[in-house]
Amino acid sequence: MIIKNVELEKVIGPTSKLPDNSLPEVAFAGKSNVGKSSLINTLMNRKSLARTSSEPGKTQTINFYNINGEMYFVDLPGYGYAKVSEAEKKRWGKMIEDYLNTSEMLRVVFLLIDIRHKPSANDKQMYEWIEYVGFEPVIIATKSDKIKRSQLEKHIKMIRDELGASEETIIVPFSALNKFGRDTILDFCDQVLENEDE
């Protein structure tokens, strides 16, 4: 997939209604500091369209990026950030839940997990939730440049084991720094478009 045109088309807050889209959607879920905005910017070849922040928990809305007029990248609110109130966490959780449950055009859910650490309780919950609503999550193991190349397989196995994921579950190591894994993720997006054409 070659991304030529990107537009932040819709921003949905806790009280807004989800849009009736006619284009396929791929969603990105992950903890607040997992590098979701950096991933989306890397995929789109933009420096700062998706807001990155040294302060986690900045994405408090569901952001719909129109890609080439063909599909949407859907940036879901980051979860598990300690410094927000329980009420706020519940509100974000409900937004994510409503979206996963009701989007007619959602085709793939990418779940981002920091490759350096064991998946958190929130990560496991999100993985199970994505499966529960009928999707097989594609795991993106972010920050892969922070570990030695020789350690990749070991860390991928750790993520798989901790999530209780099957051997078939796809885990893609990714680095926003050197764009490692970018093409693999864009290939998934191409497959989504090919499936729509059929």
In tens, the pLDDT along 117-156 reads: 999 999 999 999 999 999 999 999 999 999 999 999 999 9
37 vs 49: CA distance, rounded Å: 8
- Is residue 93 very low, low, confident or very high in pLDDT (cuts 50, 70, 90)? confident
Counting every residue written for the chain, the total comes to: 198
What are φ and ψ of residue 64, in 5° steps? -105, 115
Q: Please give the pLDDT value at position 51.
A: 62
Q: Please give the pLDDT value at position 15.
A: 81
- Is residue 87 very low, low, confident or very high in pLDDT (cuts 50, 70, 90)? confident
> pTM here?
0.91
Q: Please give the pLDDT value at position 173.
A: 97
Which tokens in the block code for residue 8? 């932040």
8 vs 181: CA distance, rounded Å: 23
* Least confident span in 83-87, 176-180, 194-198: 83-87
pLDDT at 54 over 70: no
Other beta carbons within 10 Å of 94: 11
Other beta carbons within 10 Å of 161: 11
pLDDT at 172 over 60: yes
Q: Please give the pLDDT value at position 89.
A: 65
pLDDT at 50 over 80: no
* Least confident span in 5-19, 53-67, 72-86, 140-154: 53-67
198 vs 195: CA distance, rounded Å: 5
More confident residue, 83 or 3: 3
Q: Which residues, 6+ apart, have CB-to-CB distance to 86 below 8 Å?
A: none
pLDDT at 14 over 90: no
Q: Please give the pLDDT value at position 80.
A: 74
pLDDT at 59 over 70: no
